[in-house]
Amino acid sequence: MINNIESLWSEKVNSMKKSVIRELLKLTQKEGIISFAGGLPDPALFPVDDLSKCTEYVLQTHGSKALQYGLTEGDLGLRKELATRYRQIEGLNIDENNIVITTASQQGLDLVGRVFLDKGDVVMCALPSYLGGINAFSSYGAEIKGVKLDENGMSATALDDEINKTKAEGKKVKFIYLVPDFQNPAGITMNRQRRLDILDIAYKHNLPIIEDSPYREVRFDGEPQEMFQSLDKKGFVITLGSLSKVLAPGFRIGWAMGDPIFLDKIVTVKQVADLCSSSFVQMIAAEYFRQGYYAENIKKIIKAYREKRDAMLGALEEFMPEGVTWTHPEGGLFLFVILPKNMNSEALFEKAIERNVAFVIGNVFHCDNSGKNTMRINFSFSSIEDNIEGVRRLSEVIKEMM
């Protein structure tokens, strides 16, 4: 072994932390455990037969192209399919030139960090916010500042105050990061007026908005709110999308969507990162859209996850003691549980693992390390029966700690 190997690590790698969620998932592999920890889709909903047909078609008709290097921007057919769906479903005025394919949306977050961030720059995000975004931006030396949520999402007034305060300190804010639909981890959806207010703040301070939208179509209740990308009339918004939650995470397909002036820089840094994402899986995904399989399967996903969410909400209502509250997401994969202020979810986690149930401790989603009395639980992966039983086990541990 090299002597004093720690002295060889870069500043960047020393500043990185392993994903708490990925590490927690290792603890959930033992037999009999009910895991609410990951953001995992239900594998029973993976469209294996449909994808098999698409794979065979791509190999038979485009095999040499599918197995070759591709464009950094991504497969033209897939970008056209995605642009068509956004035009039809969301009413966006875009085409394939407004989309760059990434290796899942996590790479999109990393590429955004590479494009915008220098050490000491500031990113505005929600408190709490998606851990993958926090880690990606922190790895470039950025300071992450959290703005508290209310029932309508990030507070616009608090955001404006925090930006003004940061500027007064002589620091440079680079962008605003948001998950506006069924927010990870809180499950909250931002209403239209709040989106407009935050857009106005972005215009006022000349700041891009990163709209992280990995499962917007997985809506169970309520009215869809217009995307930031749709409301934006000045080209300030970059939207990150993904097929991980709505097709299969094994495909590792995501995308960045926005003004070509942003995408040109994303393409530049992506060429350094990986040259291009897999041509093969992109062409399979394009065929999957083309055949109408996506439109059909998303209906099955929505139905299944609605039933799972309802079962979990019912179990929370039945088993949880007074003093414990939770969010009621209109879609997505998660809900957020708030324990009494004197309780610590990290201590609760250790006891819950002994009862064979797991979740994600809430403070990891708080850039200021607050939220120690919160936790995120996922309802999409486990069966309805396990969702109910897992909540029952959690409630027993909480009652004992109380």
Q: Is residue 253 a part of any domain in this protein?
A: yes
SS3 354: helix
The pLDDT of residue 190 is 98
CATH number at residue 314: 3.90.1150.10
Q: Are residues 247 and 214 in the same domain?
A: yes
* Beta bridge pairs of residue 100: 256
Task: From 233, 242, 127, select the one nearest 185 (Cα to Cα).
Answer: 127
The pLDDT of residue 18 is 65
pLDDT tens, residue by residue, 36-73: 998 999 999 999 999 999 999 999 999 999 999 999 99
Q: Are residues 284 and 320 in the same domain?
A: no
pLDDT tens, residue by residue, 151-200: 999 999 999 999 999 999 999 999 999 999 999 999 999 999 999 999 99
pLDDT tens, residue by residue, 8-36: 888 777 776 666 666 666 665 677 899 99
The structural domain count of the chain equals 2
Instruction: Find the domain containing 166 and state its range.
Output: 64-293
Q: Is residue 128 a part of any domain in this protein?
A: yes
- Predicted confidence band of residue 4 (pLDDT cuts 50, 70, 90): confident
Question: Could you tell me if residue 162 is left (phi over 0), alpha (psi between -120 and 50 degrees) or otherwise beta?
Answer: alpha
Report how far residue 64's alpha carbon sits from residue 48's, in angstroms, rounded to the nearest whole number.
Answer: 23
pLDDT tens, residue by residue, 331-360: 999 999 999 999 999 999 999 999 999 999
Chosen domain end from 252, 273, 293: 293
Report how far residue 53's alpha carbon sits from residue 386's, in angstroms, rounded to the nearest whole number.
Answer: 33
- What residue has token string 């000349």? 206
The pLDDT of residue 128 is 97
Q: Evaluate if residue 367 carries a pLDDT over 70.
A: yes
The pLDDT of residue 19 is 65
Residue range 126-140: mean pLDDT, rounded: 96
Q: Are residues 279 and 300 in the same domain?
A: no
